[in-house]
Amino acid sequence: MLAAKPKRAVPVFDKLRVPAHYAFLYAASGKPTAMTDIAQLSKWNRDLSQAISALGTDAFFPALIAAIQGQVRFDYPQVWLYHKDLPPQVLYHEIPDNALASQVDTYLDGPYREDPFYQTSMNQPRSKFYRLSRITAGKLRETQYYRDYYADTGTVDEAIYLSRLRGSNVINVCMMRLPRHGTFTEQDYETLYLLAEPISELIKSHSEHDDFAVTHLIQPGIDHQVDLAFRTFGASLLSPREKDVLELMLRGYGTDTSADRLGIALETVRRHRKSIYRKLDVSSQTDLFSLFINSLTCLGQAAGDDPLRIYMAPSQ
């Protein structure tokens, strides 16, 4: 199925010299159908949208791989995080069990350091798409990396999409070809190159969806926000112990139950409460609760920090 593109010439098609990789748009008779044309572009956009909708979730990489496969078929899909300070990590793969050892385990034992893609990734890469033959300048077979490792993987061609992240980290989507599917054609490469920009940007965006503020500001409802408020309210002004006492107060614990919970005397809780009132400039628990509720309006701007900071300085 991987070599599904028709090889025989289509008379009218040849005459027009439309690129070979659009050949599938035309019926065998040589007469193109408008719906087939639209359908193919529609497929790319539809698959791409699937990937976009999966941003920030575990389903993103499978969707991205499927979108690429929808344009050019390849073997052993794998997504690697090349970390500046750590060994490479597989974020996702579709490698069959019988090839897993050589593709991942053996690779990680050491050869990855000589991998031309890894070296390129770690040295300020400028492009978002690389072909193995180009970066090795046709000299792959002369390398130690080839003799010791690559020759045993059984692959005959390889290319990657590369996405540079913050902190000089890189995520690569690795695409290979086995002998029975043959090397990538020039048309394959042309198409893959064409898709490099959106793919690279999507991967970068995906990596930024793990940001704590996004996760905790979007995902949960008000209850999470309130929980966050319990933990952050007053943190910029109070001592750690005072924060403990305050959080219990806010959660409805009385003085005696707070003392039990913290394993301290009732009088100590009282002493902390007095300090809390003084530092937050209130004179009763009613005032305190009111301040807390009003500070909820500043949670967004505080972004995980103490909302009182914003509340007390509204002119920012």
In the complex with a second copy, the residue whose CB is nearer, 236 or 297, is 297
Residues 216-235 that bind a second copy (CB under 8 A): 217-219, 221-223, 225-226
Binding partner at 297 among a second copy, DNA, none, C-beta below 5 to 8 Å by kind: a second copy
Over the range 97-112, which residues count as b (16 or more CB within 10 Å of their CB) and which as e?
eebeebbbebbeeebb
Q: Does 251 bind DNA (CB under 7 A)?
A: no
**Strand arrangement of the beta sheet that strand 157-164 belongs to:** 89-93, 75-82, 170-177, 157-164, 129-131
Least separation in angstroms between residue 281's CB and DNA is: 10
Least separation in angstroms between residue 44's CB and a second copy is: 9
SS (HEC) of 151-195: HHHCCCEEEEEEEECHHHCEEEEEEEECHHHCCCCHHHHHHHHHC
Residues 245-274 that bind a second copy (CB under 8 A): 249-252, 254
- DSSP annotation of 316 reads -
In the complex with a second copy, the residue whose CB is nearer, 48 or 159, is 48
Residues 11-30 that bind a second copy (CB under 8 A): 12, 16-19, 22
Among residues 115, 158, 242, 306, the one that binds DNA under rule CB under 7 A? 242
Binding partner at 271 among a second copy, DNA, none, C-beta below 5 to 8 Å by kind: DNA
In contact, 172 and 121? CB cutoff 8 Å: yes
In the complex with a second copy, the residue whose CB is nearer, 81 or 100, is 81
Q: Does 83 bind DNA (CB under 7 A)?
A: no
Tokens at 266, concatenated: 């009732």
Q: How many CB atoms lie within 10 A of CB 121?
A: 23
